[in-house]
């Protein structure tokens, strides 16, 4: 198997994890490549001691049979952008702390990689978003993301948008911004903004206003078959920023139109252990834990 690795180069344990993968695959028929920018950054660390020596460079991870992201959720989201909609299995190894998406901890790296290499794993299909930003007379910009699409004003300035869902008007929203999230992204920015937790087994979109100026305006869960259309009507500085999975995409000007819907292809997340979404919620959010009583 040909594996491409996307590694967070500055996590304290990144070099250790790379060296571990090298030992596991040495002398096997499997080939490992490291995404070129991550390889350069790792080799440039002051504490580098040859852990990535012998690794091949990968300029395009889509040439691999499977992709492994080692870092945190941000690293996995970066791998999703690099895959760009290709139907490749993606395994996330958590080298950090929280990790909703990269749920396999570093101490299970050997086991998870072994399952990936021998094919004893299942795929968790996760819905992806496709955002299309249209400017009057311009060429539409299309971006795919796993977690969310966000429109917000610069420096937390208020903006006004016209919103339509499934062709029906919701009127105008006055807020610090708006979020359109997938079920996977419902536990990210949307949750912090007061949105609901949605099981990734559902095909849905979550529309969450950020600090809306009308208190009756609440988050809304809609079918993934519907598109959400957002037209920028007014901002304090006549522009807003569009981000996808936390990464800036383009500045939006008054009159620009954003259409968000389900992407044509889902993401194939590799699952190598029996752990449910609800197990992750309880672990990461501390649900159901009781303090010790005295006596």
**Dist. CA 127–CA 215, nearest whole Å:** 30
Tokens encoding 105: 């901890």
Tokens encoding 289: 């834990």
Q: What is the three-class DSSP state of 61?
A: helix
Between the alpha carbon of residue 137 and those of residues 3, 29, 161, 256, 282, the distances in Å are: 42, 52, 20, 10, 49
DSSP string, 96-154: SS--SS--EEGGGHHHHHHHHHHT--EEEEE--EEEEEE-TTSPPEEEEESSEEEEE-G
Exposure letters 187-204 (e unless 16+ CB within 10 A, then b): bbbbbebebbebebeeeb
- Pairing between strand 220-223 and 267-271? unpaired
Residues with a known catalytic role: 73
Chain-centre distance for alpha carbon 31: 26
């Amino acid at each position: 198997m040909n594996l491409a690795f996307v590694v967070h180069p500055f996590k304290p344990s990144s070099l250790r994890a790379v060296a571990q993968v090298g030992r596991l695959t040495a002398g096997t028929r499997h080939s490992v490549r490291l995404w070129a920018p991550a390889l350069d950054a790792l080799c440039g660390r002051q504490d580098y001691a040859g852990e990535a020596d012998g690794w091949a460079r990968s300029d395009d991870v889509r040439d691999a049979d499977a992709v492994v992201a080692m870092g945190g959720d941000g690293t996995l989201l970066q791998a999703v952008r690099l895959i760009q909609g290709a139907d490749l299995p993606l395994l996330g190894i958590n080298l950090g702390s929280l990790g909703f998406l990269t749920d396999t901890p570093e101490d299970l790296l050997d086991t998870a990689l072994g399952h990936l290499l021998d094919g004893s794993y299942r795929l968790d299909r996760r819905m992806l978003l496709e955002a299309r930003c249209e400017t009057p007379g311009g060429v539409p910009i299309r971006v795919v993301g796993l977690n969310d699409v966000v429109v917000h004003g610069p420096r937390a300035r208020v903006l006004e948008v016209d919103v339509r869902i499934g062709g029906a008007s919701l009127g105008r929203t006055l807020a610090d911004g708006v979020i359109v999230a997938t079920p996977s992204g419902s536990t990210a920015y949307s949750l912090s903004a007061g949105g609901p937790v949605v099981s990734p087994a559902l095909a849905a979109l979550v529309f969450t206003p950020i600090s809306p100026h009308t208190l009756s305006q609440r988050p809304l869960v809609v079918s993934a078959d519907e598109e959400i259309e957002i037209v920028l009507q007014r901002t304090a500085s006549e522009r807003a920023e569009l981000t996808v999975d936390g990464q800036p995409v383009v500045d939006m000007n008054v009159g620009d139109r954003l259409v968000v819907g389900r992407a044509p292809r889902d993401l194939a997340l590799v699952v190598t252990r029996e752990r449910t979404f609800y197990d992750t919620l309880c672990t990461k959010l501390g649900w159901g834990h009781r303090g010790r009583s005295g006596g």
